[in-house]
Amino acid sequence: MAPPVPIDPVAEAGQLADLFNNLSQALDDFRLGDHTPPVPADQLARLKDEAQAMEDRAHFFTAQAIGATLQSIQPDLANIKAVTAQAKTQLTVLNDVSKVISIATSALSLGTAIAAGNPVSIAAAAEALAQTLAG
Amino acid sequence: MSRAPRDFAILVAVLVLPLVNCTTPDAVSKFCGSAGTTLTSASLVFDDMKLSCLREINSRDEFGTFKPPVQSDPNCNAIADQAAGAAAAAKVLSNYFGAINSLASFGTAKAGTDAQSLLSKTGAAVGASSPAQTALGSIAQFLVSAATSGYQRKQLEKDLPKVSANVSAVVSALITIVQDDYIDRQLGSEEQKLADRYREFAKDKSPEIKLLLDDRWHADEQALAAKRASAQSLITALQALSKGFADLAANAHQLTAKEVPGLLGPYATQLQALIPQIQKGF
């Protein structure tokens, strides 16, 4: 027995949308054409209603086709979202690295000031370090 | 040059050289910025999917019936729901490019300068003009820049190829929706039904009235053609975005700083030129 042919929901829904759209247009083309003898008005009105019903069906299957396309990329979207979150974390790390080095250099200045034994310099360096830690 | 500064210069060159031969953040940032704007503009097309459906339904009424246009229809609402899903998918991509842009444009040089200016505030401790303070400032600036830019480039090289296939799949799906569902099905059908409305009304009318109708139909047709042209521009932009990203991801580890702007520049320029074209029809 031959293996079952896999169904492509995007193609199937799209083809149905096209089919109903073409049928609707064929009905309208017939309705708006010249006929001998002329088609009675009530029949023309019915053909118009049928063409509109076909077009509604085409809209329905267009929505289905878009939905099937979106369904097929859900795993891709999930992976992109995960990597986006990672990139945002990496940006936080960059800010942290930058801040840590600033704190280290500021602390180094304070140490140097303490070693120099100048109270005014120590106060200035300590204030700068405090500002860095607060920022 | 005395020996100490010369040795220091050699040390800096040795440390900085590996960073130069990596992905250039500026070029990546420019490309990602354009990609994000392109994807934001895509919502104009997705929003028009429901509107096109409603315009078609409203074109079923004959001229002169003077009925207010319908604002809602079950099948048009279903299309609107799916179009919102497509816009959300574009937003996921846009968020990704935004995050990569932030990572690429992180101011490593500024971080270094900030560290140096911080040190100058504490300069009184060792004497603002002393050689020690000057050296300390230079080292702080270099340390911050090198540490952050090294990490930044490493992460960019890691993040870009990781989703290359996913970005390509999502862009391809968006192109399918814009080309097959919007341009071919919706605008194509709207155009046919619009013409049918004029044909129906023009039946048995005088040549003068037919000429007036023909003028009006041309105006309506031009509006539809403008929407189709905008959607085509979006497709071209999405193709450029996908190809540029694939090229970047494939070469993220081997391109030199000089090559990256050359690789991404044409794509970024193309995207920037297409963005106004996408917005034109809506």
Classify burial at B239, counting beta carbons within 10 Å of its beta carbon; exposed 0-12, middle 13-18, buried 19 or more. middle
Of the pLDDT bands very low, low, confident and very high (cuts 50, 70, 90), residue B107 is low
For B163, half-sphere exposure in the C-beta direction (CA atoms, 13 angstrom radius) is: 27
Q: Could you tell me if B201 and B213 are in contact, meaning their C-beta atoms sit under 8 angstroms apart? A: yes
Mean pLDDT over the full length of chain B: 82
Pairwise CB contact (< 8 Å): A79 & B189: no
Which residues from B are below 8 Å from A80, CB to CB? 92-93, 96, 163, 166-167, 170
Could you tell me which residue, A28 or B108, shows the higher pLDDT?
A28
State the pLDDT at residue A86.
86
Classify burial at B120, counting beta carbons within 10 Å of its beta carbon; exposed 0-12, middle 13-18, buried 19 or more. middle
Q: Tokens 């500024």 correspond to what residue?
A: B110
Suggest the residue from A50, A54, A59, A97 to mutate for an interface test with chain B (most B CBs closer than 10 A). A59
Which residues from A are below 8 Å from B200, CB to CB? 32
Measured between CA atoms, how close is B219 to chain A, in angstroms? 22
Give pLDDT tens digits for B179-227.
999 999 999 999 999 999 999 999 889 999 999 999 999 999 999 999 9
Give pLDDT tens digits for A82-118.
988 888 888 777 777 667 766 776 777 777 777 777 7
Name the token pair of A55: 């077009």
What's the rounded Cα separation, in Å, for the pair B42 and B90? 7
Name the token pair of B101: 């842009």
Could you tell me which residue, B248 or A132, shows the higher pLDDT?
B248
Single-letter code of the amino acid located at B63: F
In chain A, residues 1-60 whose CB comes closer than 8 Å to chain B:
10, 14, 17-18, 21, 24-25, 28, 32, 48, 52, 55-56, 58-60
What's the rounded Cα separation, in Å, for the pair B123 and B140? 13
Cis, bond preceding A37 (omega within 30 deg of 0): yes
Element (H, E) at A26: helix A9-32
Q: Indicate if ipTM > 0.85.
A: no
Share of chain B above pLDDT 90, in %: 54
The answer to whether A121 contacts chain B (CB < 8 Å) is yes
- The pTM of this model reads 0.79
State the pLDDT at residue B110.
59
Suggest the residue from A62, A92, A112 to mutate for an interface test with chain B (most B CBs closer than 10 A). A62
Q: Which of B132, B181, B199 shows the shortest C-beta gap to A65?
A: B181
Measured between CA atoms, how close is B223 to chain A, in angstroms? 21
State the pLDDT at residue B12.
39
Could you tell me which residue, B114 or A87, shows the higher pLDDT?
A87
What's the rounded Cα separation, in Å, for the pair B51 and B70? 10
Give pLDDT tens digits for A12-21.
999 999 999 9
- Over residues A24-40, the mean pLDDT reads 92
Of the pLDDT bands very low, low, confident and very high (cuts 50, 70, 90), residue B16 is very low
Structural domain boundaries of chain B?
25-280
DSSP B124: G
What's the rounded Cα separation, in Å, for the pair B44 and B178? 11
Pairwise CB contact (< 8 Å): A59 & B79: yes
Q: How many residues does chain A have?
A: 135
State the pLDDT at residue B23.
47
